[in-house]
Amino acid sequence: MPDRLLEVSDLSTHFFTHAGVVKAVNGVSFTLDRGKTLGIVGESGSGKTVAALSIMRLVPDPPGKVVAGSVYLKDRDLLALDDDDMREVRGNDIAMIFQDPMTSLNPVFKVGTQIAETIVQHQGKSKDEAWDMAVELLDKVGIPDAKQRVTQYPFEFSGGMRQRAMIAMAISCNPDILIADEPTTALDVTIQAQIIDVVTEMQAQYDSGVIVITHDLGVVAQMADDVMVMYGGRTVEYGPVDEVFYNPHQPYTWGLLGSLPRLDESEKQRLTPIKGQPPNLLLLPNGCPFSGRCPYEMPVCSKEFPELEIVGPGHGVHCWIPIDKRYEIRESLPRFIGGHAS
């Protein structure tokens, strides 16, 4: 029986701007179990970060507002909590690491002070105890000479070390859920490998649930158990990684997989990019957000968003194309990479 940590249903977050309403997240549902990793992939503007911020209730209001849906952390509805209770949840139950570790650390405080602050705030420890814990945590995330390093300022840390410090801060209160928003995008690939290693290790140690938000399908393949593919504020496909990579049903997922050059490709194959430009979020169609770029578009696509269709174990897709036709199209794709695992 999986230990369900998080259940998000039908979440919608809109931004009310002068130019109009931006439906950044539009009816998104997903779950997260203890010890599991959920990958949220999508391109810029697909709503993946706003989805995470909505869970944390960190969407700037105004202009943003969660307009519908529920977010259950075990049996508590986070959207119904008052601000004080929510502050307790952040850090204690859910912690988040951000993409840019330079802007998320305060440049005028020592790294140790910043980590200790979290511990004093959430665990009621004394300053000295918290400081010792900060040293321990930095050591745990693999920063050498942790005792010296805690007394330094963020500018004295390299990008990889700053991200480690962020992870130390995030795990300081032993949260059930760790949300990592593009944790490695600003880092070089060898440093990325180190950071992914640290996150995976911490997850194993604390048995926490991890949500990793990324645009890199490689990172998803490496880290995630389940994956949610987002486009224009909507979930277009959702399921276990193997299902989504080897049995993808949504034309956008096909497009993403076909767009990627692969390091392990033995013969050079021409990429099959997705045509057109990313959507204007102010002018999204009422129906499927991918209509307009989708090569298999039908008249109904831009009018109404399709219901969830279950196509495999835990594998759901939103697409109007009939399933037989989907298999047929997929067979004919010139550069379809999935399909070799059953």
Taking residues 121 to 160 in sequence order and writing x for each that binds another protein by CB under 8 A, - otherwise, the string is: -----------------------x-------------x-x
**159-171 helix and 189-206 helix, angle to the nearest 10 degrees:** 10
Q: Please give the Cα distance from 167 to 291 (Å, whole number).
A: 39
The structure tokens 């990325």 sit at 192
State how far the Cα of 190 lies from the Cα of 296, in Å rounded to an integer: 39
| Smallest separation (angstroms) from another protein to the CB of 178 | 19
334 forms part of the interface with another protein (CB under 8 A): no
The contact pattern for another protein, residues 252-291, with x = CB under 8 A and - = no contact, is ---xxxxxxxxxxxxxx-xxxxxx-xx-------------
Residue list 219-238, contact with another protein (CB under 8 A)? 219-222
Type and span of the H or E element at 54: helix 48-56
Q: Are 41 and 220 in contact (CB under 8 A)?
A: yes
Preceding peptide of 299 cis, ω within 30°: no
Nearest residue (CB) to another protein, 68 versus 221: 221
Binding mask 179-218 for another protein (x = CB under 8 A): ---------xxxxxxx-xx-----------------xxxx
The residue among 126 and 148 lying less far from another protein, judged by its C-beta, is 148
Residues that bind another protein (rule: CB under 8 A) add up to a total of 53
Tokens of 252: 């956008």
**Exposed/middle/buried for residue 41 (C-beta within 10 Å: 0-12, 13-18, 19+):** buried
Could you tell me the smallest distance in angstroms from the CB atom of residue 330 to another protein?
Answer: 17
CB-wise, 112 or 251, nearer to another protein?
251
Burial bucket for residue 340 (CB in 10 Å: 0-12, 13-18, 19+)? exposed
Nearest approach, Cβ of residue 296 and another protein (Å): 16
Residues that bind another protein (CB under 8 A): 43-44, 144, 158, 160-161, 188-194, 196-197, 215-222, 241-242, 245-246, 255-268, 270-275, 277-278, 337, 340-342
